[in-house]
Amino acid sequence: MADPAFLLEAAKDSLKHWHLEPARIEAVSQTENIVYKVISTDGLAYALRLHRPGYHSLEELISEQIWIEALQKTGLTVPRSLRSHQGDYFVAVDCGDTIRYAGLIDWFDGLPLNEIPKHHQAPVNPLAYLGQTCARMHNQATQWQPPADFERPEFNIEGFFGCNPFWGRFWEVPDLTESEKTKFLIIRDQLIALLTAYGQPANTYSMIHADMHEGNVMVSNNDFLLIDFDDAGFGWHQYDIAVALFNHAESNDYEAQKNTLIRHYRQIRNLSDDDLALLPYFILIRALVMVSWLHLRPEHHQPGVIATFISRALRIASRLKLIST
């Protein structure tokens, strides 16, 4: 990554495309996308994102914004993107070692839902919110016709288990022992067979958020904002639900947590028992893709974290009788 001072100057320079004069600009995140909080001379706040190179094409980034705007029209509270004075969602920025695309959205003051202090009660049950929001999003996605040039990843069999999966080949990460590699290959083959038999029903396969957990919901007083559509693409609805439940899946009150989310989901959108029966397999898929996701991003985790997800995936697979203990 280029020098932070150089990146800051590049970020400031990019704001001219929005005719925006910053009174203050500060880096708030420098992980994958670099995010700056910008305060304009008239006191308004924005988030300027320099998107990581190589993760999405410009066409994919534009498509992400097209879907977010379509979701906004249905009443979902999602980030509002500001177009440049030339009418573009993104502008190319020279970041020294590479070109990044910069995009500007309104700033939202608040905390992620999973960071609300324990002694403060959230305005609503987090899983109730996720269930209803997920259902509203799936309602929009199944009724929506994307434009012909719309480009987003596919989280289908190829996208999870193919030669070049979106989040990497989890069955080949070097952290696996030979025994674990063998088990991961068995799991992979059985999940491919399961999803091949299930197919891609129109009522459970559409655009999905693909990273819809409590850390991606911002809260301020009674206002909520669903953020981080970076991984949005075409996939099974059960994967969205699995992501929302993943951090609860091994807790003692998991059944109660799951029932809360599903009950609120079904208040908005139908989900048959047969479709719901696949949920544990999508929770397993989440654990598997986290193994390769973490492997590709060693700077984002402490030693031993990958081993934790490997063990978790094997426990889930064993409970589902995909492998023997």
Tell me if 4-107 shares its fold with 113-319: no
Q: What's 258-274 look like in SS3? A: HHHHHHHHHHHCCCCHH
Query: Which helix or strand (DSSP H or E) is residue 39 part of?
Result: strand 34-40
pLDDT tens per residue, range 275-310: 999 999 999 999 999 999 999 988 777 889 999 999
pLDDT band at 241 (very low <50, low <70, confident <90, very high): very high
Buried b / exposed e over 211-226, threshold 16 CB at 10 Å, is bbbbebbbbeeeebbb
Q: What is the pLDDT of residue 124?
A: 75
- 3-state class of 129 per DSSP? helix
Full-model pTM: 0.95
What would the two tokens of residue 318 be? 């064993």
For the chain, which residues make up each domain, given as ranges?
A: 4-107, 113-319
Q: To which residue do tokens 């001072």 refer? A: 5
What would the two tokens of residue 167 be? 């989040």
Considering Cα of 200, then 144, then 162, then 178, what sign does the dihedral take? negative
Q: What is the pLDDT of residue 300?
A: 72
pLDDT tens per residue, range 182-233: 999 999 999 999 999 999 999 999 999 999 999 999 998 788 999 999 999 9
Q: What is the pLDDT of residue 49?
A: 95
**In the 8-state DSSP scheme, what is residue 52?**
P
pLDDT tens per residue, range 7-35: 889 999 999 999 999 999 999 987 778 99
CATH number, domain 113-319, options 3.40.50.300, 3.40.50.2300, 3.90.1200.10, 2.60.40.420? 3.90.1200.10
What would the two tokens of residue 174 be? 């070097």
The answer to whether residue 113 scores a pLDDT higher than 90 is no
pLDDT band at 123 (very low <50, low <70, confident <90, very high): low
The answer to whether residue 119 scores a pLDDT higher than 60 is no
Region 90-113 average pLDDT: 91
Q: What is the pLDDT of residue 298?
A: 83
What's the full length of the chain, in residues? 325
The domain made up of 4-107 has a fold known as: Phosphorylase Kinase; domain 1 (3.30.200)
User: Which of 85-99, 154-168, 169-183 comes out lowest in average pLDDT?
Assistant: 85-99
CA dihedral of 198, 199, 202, 208, whole degrees rounded to 10: 90
* Sheet arrangement for strand 205-208: 154-155, 233-236, 205-208
pLDDT above 70 as % of the chain: 97
pLDDT tens per residue, range 304-322: 999 999 999 999 999 999 9
Pairing of strands 90-94, 205-208: unpaired
Q: Where are the beta strands (DSSP E) in 169-228?
A: 205-208, 217-220, 223-226
